[in-house]
Structure 1
Amino acid sequence: MRKALGFDLGGTKFAFGVVQEDGTVLGSGQVETLAEKGAAQAVQRAIVAARDVLTQLNFKPSDLVGIGIASPGPLDVGKGCVTGSPNLPGWDNFPIGGEIAKAFGLPVRIDNDANAAAVGEHRFGAGKGKHDMVYVTLSTGIGGGAIVNNRLMRGANGNAAELGHLTLDIKGPKCPCGGNGCFEMMASGTAIKRFARAALTAGRTSAIATQAGGIDKVNARHVFAAAQAGDALAQELVAHEIEYLARGFAVIINTFNPERIVVGGGVASAGEWLLGPVRTRALALAFPRLASACDIVPAALAANVGVVGAAACAFEQVGS
């Protein structure tokens, strides 16, 4: 069975793994990114550590069909580099893909991390068997990737499906992208935290701050826990979250007409308690004929989604 090497580049860790064509991770590891020290040192340490894993598995680079890299965007996929990622300051235009290709002598494909996750979920996870699906990650921010007719939609320069920047409320908070009321400004984990802290600072009575150990420590997990315990403010915040997630998903349904939306990320780990009402509301908001063709389900790959998704991109590149 064919094998590929997947790298998952993040602001704090650079993970990697050898992945079989059925999605099985045969061996894996990670190094600290130490992003502030620059790209060269992180890439070199990841290469050395990945070689060690190959050695432990008694594999040579020639036993692999290719390499995939999942990275925060935006990217220049042609040059294999990051261009202006807030998580990787100072990494612009460093040839991550080229350096890794040279080290292993294999073809390399670099993709936005959410796009890679979409390919992984489509090939191995909750989107398997679906011709048209959209992956949405709900975490600190919101990202996504779209599979259209069994192929990843990349767009003109490889940065398609920036779902976190769908405009949901033109009077909403200013986004660093320059827009107002972007999806991630209204419904990400960071947004939940911001709305909660603002309400508490304004004097709203709630157990959220006590549970968190102070207003400045409040995050989405505290809000969800308090809501489930019956806290009134927390329940208001969750109702707001459900409404804006549903609006975002409805726009996605109306735009892509997917068979399935696969939802991953930390916020999504709240489970059916959150996803159930979001699903009901989103399908009610979307155009009925499109809504009737779509379901909304949790992701299946969990913690391995970056590495497995990157490897899936490598398999896609070399073909069947």
Structure 2
Amino acid sequence: MTVLAIDIGGTKLAAGIVDAGGDILARGEVPTLAAEGPERVLERIVRLAKDVLGRPGIPAETIHRIGIGCAGPVDRQAGLILNPPNLPGWVRVPLVEHIEKALGRPAVLENDANAAALGEFRYGAGKGARSLVYLTVSTGIGGGIILDGKIWHGLKDGAGEVGHMTLLPDGPVCGCGNRGCLEALASGPSIARRAREALGTGRPSRLREIRDVTAADVVRLVQEGDAVAAEVWNETVGYLGLGVAAVITILAPERVVIGGGVARAGDPLFEPLRREVRRRVKLVAV
């Protein structure tokens, strides 16, 4: 069965046509522009979906299902987006109803990290495992948990909100309203914020040459030997190591898979993160 897949993130929207083997036949993405509010973003989602469905060679008439992933919290059964920290103003938005009406096909909603976890479990880095934790590190930080081959949703679909575990009780305010969450310390925007704060010390850094610093800029300058960028990045790895170590200690999954925009850093992230996790996990196999 071929389906239309839609991913709603705080930074970008993506849509794709995916066949039963997990192959992507067509795809597209546009900026979310979340500050414009739910109505404008929903319009953008529908336009993107119609564009992908209309691509040459795509048999749109044979696509009868839509799968939607969105940052939590969500109500899967009611098809509602509840109040994601990275989508301001999205309070109990009837997403599934809107998409079904606009595109004329039944849709199902899932937390985006859960959907990604299932994808990795079936087709990607988690293939062959029975248990897996997927972490997305991007505009926000989320988690999806696979236990005995199935998504673990928890009470009221609340499982996997790894980004909102508290690491620093008096740390920076998170979008969820708490302080010191992993997301407030190690997400893409948080890395950029800490880089800007580090410049306040007056130390020399090429970060000063960049008008709007991003996490990708920090990674690039780490590789070029910038000391301030390296300090910010090492802090990031430390915070992520704490979060991953806590998840492993609680669940002892066979695999931990990390994705999202920040994960595109590759070895500068994964090599020190593996070392940090091994250093911190004492009672569980890693």
Query: Does the TM-score normalized on the shorter chain lie above 0.5?
Result: yes
How far, CA to CA, are the matches of 2:224 and 2:147 in structure 1?
A: 41
Match of 1:228 in 2: 223
The 1:89–1:179 alpha-carbon spacing in structure 2 relative to 1, beyond 3 Å, is: closer
Match of 2:113 in 1: 114
SS of alignment partner, residue 109 of structure 1? strand
How far, CA to CA, are the matches of 2:215 and 2:52 in structure 1?
A: 35
Q: Which moved more, 1:33-42 or 1:73-82?
A: 33-42
Give the one of 254, 259, 268 matched to 1:259.
254
User: C-alpha displacement at 1:66, in angstroms?
Assistant: 3.0
User: C-alpha displacement at 1:70, in angstroms?
Assistant: 0.9
How far, CA to CA, are the matches of 2:198 and 2:98 in structure 1?
A: 48
User: C-alpha displacement at 1:178, in angstroms?
Assistant: 2.8
Match of 2:18 in 1: 19
Q: Which runs of 5+ in 1 are unaligned?
A: 295-320
User: C-alpha displacement at 1:203, in angstroms?
Assistant: 1.7
User: C-alpha displacement at 1:85, in angstroms?
Assistant: 3.1
Alpha-carbon displacement from aligned partner over 1:213-232 (angstroms, at most 9, x marks no partner): x5xx2332332233222232
How far, CA to CA, are the matches of 1:11 and 1:25 in structure 2?
A: 22
Match of 2:235 in 1: 240
The 1:56–1:190 alpha-carbon spacing in structure 2 relative to 1, beyond 3 Å, is: same
How far, CA to CA, are the matches of 1:193 and 1:7 in structure 2?
A: 27
User: TM-score, structure 1 length as denominator?
Assistant: 0.78
Match of 2:177 in 1: 178
User: Which of structures 1 and 2 has the larger relative contact order (alpha carbons within 8 angstroms, sep 6+)?
Assistant: 1
Q: Is 2:54–2:60's contact at 8 Å kept on the other side of the alignment?
A: no
User: C-alpha displacement at 1:44, in angstroms?
Assistant: 4.6
Q: Is 2:138–2:260's contact at 8 Å kept on the other side of the alignment?
A: yes
User: C-alpha displacement at 1:239, in angstroms?
Assistant: 2.1
Match of 1:45 in 2: 47
Q: What residue identity is the alignment partner of 2:54?
A: D
Report the identity percentage.
42
Alpha-carbon displacement from aligned partner over 1:78-110 (angstroms, at most 9, x marks no partner): 211212235444443343213434566654210
Match of 1:197 in 2: 196
Q: How does 1:44-193 map to 2 (within 5 A)?
A: 44-46=46-48, 48-49=50-51, 51-53=53-55, 56-60=57-61, 63-64=62-63, 66-102=65-101, 106-193=105-192
Q: Is 1:77–1:157's contact at 8 Å kept on the other side of the alignment?
A: no
The 1:89–1:144 alpha-carbon spacing in structure 2 relative to 1, beyond 3 Å, is: same
Q: What residue identity is the alignment partner of 2:272?
A: P
> How many matched pairs?
283
Q: Which runs of 5+ in 2 are unaligned?
A: none
Cα RMSD, aligned residues only: 2.6
SS of alignment partner, residue 120 of structure 1? helix
Q: Is 2:188–2:215's contact at 8 Å kept on the other side of the alignment?
A: yes
1:278 partnered with 2:277 = no
User: C-alpha displacement at 1:145, in angstroms?
Assistant: 0.9
SS of alignment partner, residue 192 of structure 1? helix
User: C-alpha displacement at 1:10, in angstroms?
Assistant: 3.6
